[in-house]
């Protein structure tokens, strides 16, 4: 099966468990993504920005993490797993705010 073409370099800032010196810590990982411009989000969707990031692979990313794209940092509001018909995970879809 052909994978989709992820063309945009992004940095994933994944939350570390717990606090360090009273601050939230992040682990950074470079990745490639497909950036989807979407309009018409409402507060019920959990986000107000106009971008979704489709990141191939089995990356563990949770809401509250961050994505840095083109020197702008976005907070991840929702993360959804994308699977093949046979149930194999292919990507995650992150909505940012």
pTM: 0.80
Length of the chain equals 97
- pLDDT at position 55 is 93
In a domain, 3, yes or no: no
Alpha helices in the chain (DSSP H): none
SS3 breakdown of the chain: % helix, strand, coil, rounded to 5?
A: 5, 60, 35
- pLDDT at position 30 is 95
In a domain, 13, yes or no: yes
Structural domain count, the chain? 1
Q: How confident is the model at residue 1 (pLDDT cuts 50, 70, 90)?
A: very low
- pLDDT at position 70 is 93
Q: How confident is the model at residue 38 (pLDDT cuts 50, 70, 90)?
A: confident
* Local structure of 45: helix, strand or coil: helix
In a domain, 23, yes or no: no
Q: How confident is the model at residue 15 (pLDDT cuts 50, 70, 90)?
A: confident
In a domain, 1, yes or no: no
In a domain, 2, yes or no: no
In a domain, 12, yes or no: yes
Which run of H or of E encompasses 67? strand 66-69
Contacts of 1 (CB under 8 A, 6+ apart): 84
Q: Residue 75 belongs to a domain with what CATH number?
A: 2.40.10
Range of the domain at 59: 8-17+31-96
- Over residues 50-65, mean pLDDT: 88
């Amino acid at each position: 099966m052909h994978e989709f073409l992820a063309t945009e370099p992004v940095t994933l800032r994944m939350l570390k468990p717990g606090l360090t010196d009273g601050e939230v810590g992040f682990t950074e990982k470079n990745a490639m993504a497909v950036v989807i411009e979407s309009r018409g989000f409402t507060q019920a969707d959990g986000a107000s920005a106009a971008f979704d990031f489709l990141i191939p692979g089995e990356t563990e990313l949770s809401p509250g993490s961050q994505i840095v794209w083109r020197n702008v940092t976005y907070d991840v509001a929702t993360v959804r797993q994308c699977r093949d018909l046979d149930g194999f995970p292919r990507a995650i879809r992150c909505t940012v705010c």
